[in-house]
Structure 1
Amino acid sequence: MQRNLLFILIGILFCSIDTVRACTIFSCSRAGEVLVAANEDDTTPFTRIWYNPSTKDRYASVCFGAPDMQIASAMNEHGLFFDYAAANYDLSKLNLTNPYPGDIMWEILGKCKNVKEAITILEKYDYISYSQALLTDKEGNSVLVTPKGITEKSGDFQINSNCNMINGKLSCRRPEITNEMLSGSKENNVDFLKKILDKTHQEGELNTLYSTICDLKRGIIYVYLFHDYNTVYTIDLKSELKKGYRIENLADHFPTSFAYENFSKNHSLYLKESIFQEMNDKGIDTTIARYIAESEKLSPKNEKLNSALLEASLQLIKYSWNEHNSGSMWDYWFSKPNGYNVKNYQDTKFVSAEKILKYLSSTETTDPKLQNFMYEMMGYVNLVQGNKSLAKKFYEKATAHPDQAYNVTIVRGKEMLNRINTLKQK
């Protein structure tokens, strides 16, 4: 397959689970109010919101995140909130020996009502992440969670920001500005926190993609798109959760903005997002058939379109996993231990994803690593749907020549083959 598709895939495969987010996050509990605010700064637009109704095992919640369905921030039905900021911890220098086998903050979101309950989980495991998380509840409790430990709030506010230190000084003033404004006032309301967000937002290659102010006591979330603090989308969490599970594009809740549209159209994921929107409007199968036909006409000059089709197939898999697993991210993609515990179910999104993968893998390619990656993905979608024999064949193909496969494909593929063989022996 074409070189451009290979480059796109390499970027997808080796994207860290802790996406770079140079965010400004802070909680404030005073004057009888408990609010938490955040600027989510990143390079990838197309933010998703997904609502997760309660189950017998988990509390209901709403999550914000990128198209890969990693959670950037979240709030549950009891007013427990967390948000990440990237950090530069050297995990190799820390004595971290007991990691949670999945996403520990996701576990906390589903099982805890407040910070106190969350701490009981955090004390059982090491927090192994390059990100630091602000965790706060409607009672006004707040802690900063890092690989080095837990820092409780002192005073009536707490800040989570991630400016680097250069020559002993912070390389930006976002945390300083936030501290100055919170320390210099006794206010605690949406308008005041919005001013802080405005003062600390970023523009340029790294943008404040969206901002939130959460009223933890009332379960209300105020959302602003692309550092425009004059237009707000208000979420009443209790009311929205009653509507059931769903994934939404955050931008769909705002009027068209030239600045945001221009930024989005110049992003590498724009074509994939356009294909996905067409799937929603005209149907998945109809859209896939149209773009495959277009790709065949353009061949061999179809690098950009084939890249987008591959990304679309992976997005379908991630959406399916999210829907059938209470809103969680696809742990398998990140080689987390819990990701290998495959839950069987049927989903037409898997069928559609495999249709794209079969087409792409049938085209001429000069890169066996890419071919074997697609075999791995076809193995996975068949395994989840209970087709163990076919899944085994694809995984065997994917791992047959280790020198011609991505390391992650070999690691995941061998683990899944071991599990398939173990299941057959029982």
Structure 2
Amino acid sequence: MQKIALLILISILSSINTIKACTIFSCSRGGETFVAANEDDTTPFTRIWYNPSTKDRYGSVCFGAPDMQIAAAMNEHGLFFDYTAANYDLSKLNLTNPYRGDIMWEILGKCKNVKEAMVILKKYDYISSSKVLLADKEGNSITINPKGIIEKSGEFQVNANCNMINGKLSCLRPEMAAEMLSGSKENNVNFLKTILDKTHQEGELNTLYSTICDLKKGIIYVYLFHDYNTAYKIDLKSELKKGYRIEKLADHFPSSFAYENFSKNHSLYLKESIFQEMINNGIEKTIDHYTAESEKTFPKNEKLNAALLEAALQLIKYSWNEHNSGGTWDYWFSKPDGYDIIQYKDPKLTSAEKLLTYLSANENKDIKLQNFMYEILGFISLTQGKAGTAKEFYKKSISCPEETYAVTLERGNEMMKRLNK
């Protein structure tokens, strides 16, 4: 029981700045414009999703963790962004006009270049504690953080998240990248790949994947788990013509012992296995199989039930992403516009509801976890247009504040205010 609560609490609290340490740089010279990045983190199972253009948004491709929070993206006009984590204390900054949602997602969908993005960035405060590099095919790039914007000067710009300790950088990655870029006149895939190789990380914190983006041609070269010999090549315009879809990045690469071993030792491996079975054998069949397995086990298989709970949340995240042009489930991240629930029907929501109903009925000792599941059942009900049912679930989720996760209490109270209007 405590294991389930701990796993789900980790999932809730890890919702911001999932990328722990990255190296990102832009380079424009010799008539070519590239950006390249090493994405370093502790959670494998990277997703990639394609979002065709709509009447309101440009088409794009996004990369991110299973929570479907965007770590990096490029749109059909060659505008690219990528994050590095940072430790800005937002409470100490005078940030008075935040954007209600994800400002970089807004920029990706509405802007063709850095110049257009600057119009939005000058209007709102950037309120993420991360840093982000934004670059376009015209050769412009900027880095953005809560304290301001730094424009590229010269041919290249490096964004890495090494902290300053006693006035010195705590790692050499940005210095190494800048030194290699300034020491050469090259600007091509092979050269940039050598920089990524030199600055990649291994160990508890790994370079999960790397990208080199040709912004003028709309081509992205992707490398898995710091193996720079095998590339997955994306022609963005061609891929967008195939329609919306979510894929596992690792499926585009041959099996690798190093990556598989790293993945199998991760706490989300069982959930990922169950979710893959849903894709292969059907969601309902898989749910029936695993709930039956859970019923057979006494004492309760906490590891399995935790994975089933995570699978239910993954279904919601996939569903929301599909019905919102590839956008992140902002409700999960407690963003202001995440409370503006869009109603739609989706079998994935029905399946998530079935799983959560089963799990909440069998979780009668950990009240915090049970209240969390009531909250998510409230969200599903409201999304499906069942406001009365949603209100009952939200009411139950916050009925005992001292036995409720802080994030559930925050979201539940906000939703009850809206439902009582």
Which residue in 1 is equivalent to 2:268? Answer: 269
2: CA distance, partners of 1:220 / 1:272: 32
Aligned counterparts, 1:21-420, within 5 A:
21-420=20-419
Tell me the distance in 2 between the aligned counterparts of 1:266 and 1:330. Answer: 27
**Matches of 2:338 and 2:186 in 1, distance apart?**
45
Q: State how far apart, in whole Å, the 1-side matches of 2:54 and 2:19 are.
A: 31
Using the TM superposition, give the Cα deviation of residue 164 of structure 1 relative to its aligned residue in structure 2, in angstroms.
1.2
**Counterpart code for 2:272:** E
Q: Deviations over 1:190-228 (max 9, x none)?
A: 000000000000000000000000000000000000000
Q: Per-residue deviation at 1:352? A: 0.4
Q: What SS does the aligned partner of 2:228 have?
A: coil
Q: Deviations over 1:309-328 (max 9, x none)?
A: 00000000010000000101
Distance (Å, rounded) in 2 between the aligned partners of 1:189 and 1:13: 40
Q: Give, as a single letter, the amino acid of the residue that structure 1 aligns with 2:137.
A: K
Quick check: 260-269 or 357-366, which moved more? Answer: 357-366
Contact 2:78 2:215 in 1 (8 A): yes
Contact kept, 8 Å, 2:19 with 2:39, in 1: the verdict is no
Shift of 1:364: 4.1
SS, match of residue 239 in structure 1: helix
Q: Does the 8 A contact of 2:141 with 2:157 survive in 1?
A: yes
Write the distance in 2 (CA, Å) between the matches of 1:56 and 1:16: 30
Q: Distance in 2 between matches of 1:386 and 1:123?
A: 37
Give the whole-Å Cα distance in 1 for the aligned partners of 2:60 and 2:299: 45
- Structure 2 spans left out of the alignment, 5+ residues: none
Secondary structure (helix, strand or coil) at the match of 1:334 reads coil
Moved more, 95-104 or 295-304: 295-304
Once residues 323 and 297 of structure 1 are traced to their aligned partners in structure 2, the CA distance between those partners, rounded to angstroms, is: 35
Alpha-carbon offset, residue 409 of structure 1: 1.1
**AA of the residue aligned to 1:85:** T
One-letter code of the match for 1:290?
A: H
Residue 7, structure 1, aligned to residue 6, structure 2: yes
Cα distance in 1 for residues equivalent to 2:17 and 2:293 = 36
* Alpha carbons of structure 1 residues 364 and 185: separation in structure 2 relative to 1, 3 Å: closer
1:411 to 1:218, Cα distance in 2 relative to 1, 3 A = same
Superimposed CA distance per residue, residues 103-147 of structure 1 (whole angstroms, 9 cap, x where no aligned partner) = 000000000000000000000000011110000000000000010
Other structure's SS at 1:41 match: strand
> For the residues of structure 2 that align with 1:205 and 1:365, how far apart are their CA atoms?
36
Paired residue for 1:17? 16
Which runs of 5 or more residues in structure 1 are unaligned?
none
Give the partner amino acid of 1:178.
Answer: A
Task: Give the whole-Å Cα distance in 2 for the aligned partners of 1:3 and 1:416.
Answer: 27
SS in 1 for 2:332: helix
Q: Which runs of 4+ in 1 moved over 6 A?
A: none
Matched AA of 2:180: M
| Cα distance in structure 2, aligned partners of 1:161 and 1:364 | 43
Deviation at 1:15, TM superposition (A): 1.5
Change (3 A) 1:219 1:399: same
Counterparts of 2:13 and 2:41 in 1: how far apart (Å)? 17
**In structure 2, C-alpha distance between the alignment counterparts of 1:299 and 1:374, rounded to whole Å:** 22
| Aligned-partner residue type, residue 49 of structure 1 | I
**Matched letter for residue 403 of structure 1:** E
SS state of the match for residue 123, structure 2? coil
Provide the C-alpha distance between the structure 2 equivalents of 1:87 and 1:410, rounded to a whole number of angstroms: 27
In structure 2, C-alpha distance between the alignment counterparts of 1:89 and 1:383, rounded to whole Å: 35
**Identity percentage over the alignment?**
75
Q: Measure the CA separation in 1 of the matches of 2:104 and 2:220.
A: 20
Shift of 1:299: 3.0
Q: Distance in 1 between matches of 2:405 and 2:86?
A: 27
The alignment of Structure 1 onto Structure 2 pairs a total of residues equal to 421
SS state of the match for residue 333, structure 1? coil
What SS is found at the alignment partner of 1:172?
coil
Deviations 1:10-34 (A, max 9, x none): 1012114122420000000000000
Residue 100 of structure 2 aligns with an amino acid whose one-letter code is P
Secondary structure (helix, strand or coil) at the match of 1:123 reads helix
CA distance in 1, matches of 2:250, 2:363: 37
C-alpha separation between the residues in 2 aligned to 1:357 and 1:180? 52
Q: Is the 8 A contact 2:363 2:370 kept in 1?
A: no
